[in-house]
Chains A and B, each alone.
Chain A
Amino acid sequence: MMIGSLVLLGEISQLWYALPLIVTVSLVYAATRHERMEPILAHALRFGGWIGGFMLAILLVILALSSFT
């Protein structure tokens, strides 16, 4: 039961590769919505937080599911 979770946790280190992508996607998306740098950065921070939160929620669901298998 726990083996699945352990394997999954081992794979989590690969999630670091998502970090630069989250930063880039947030900044570029925010830059298409604003012209000045201040609102761009504020929007990017908010949007990046949403993406990170969403990914974390999905990860927790997968961890919970894997603990039952």
Chain B
Amino acid sequence: MKLSLEEIRKVALLSRLELEEAELERQTKNINDLLARFEALQALDVTGIEPTSHSIPLFNVMREDETTPSLSREETLSNAPEQLDGYFIVPRIVEGI
């Protein structure tokens, strides 16, 4: 299995990474080198084997719905690249309003 430059371009878009041509080419080579290592997996018979997502069993954790101290609005916004009147500033997403 080998990914083309075009396929990597699409993966980069899905990953929200704007890559220059030279970097796209370099990443295509590196990713294909790694994908070649994955081929052995395809030959393995895994019929009937349950997948493991975590090495320990996980359960939903419930607690009483009680108010506990949490970060203030000021602390929450303290690292924001752009903020105004207690809000995070983001680019306009919906046009015409």
- A and B: bona fide binding partners: no
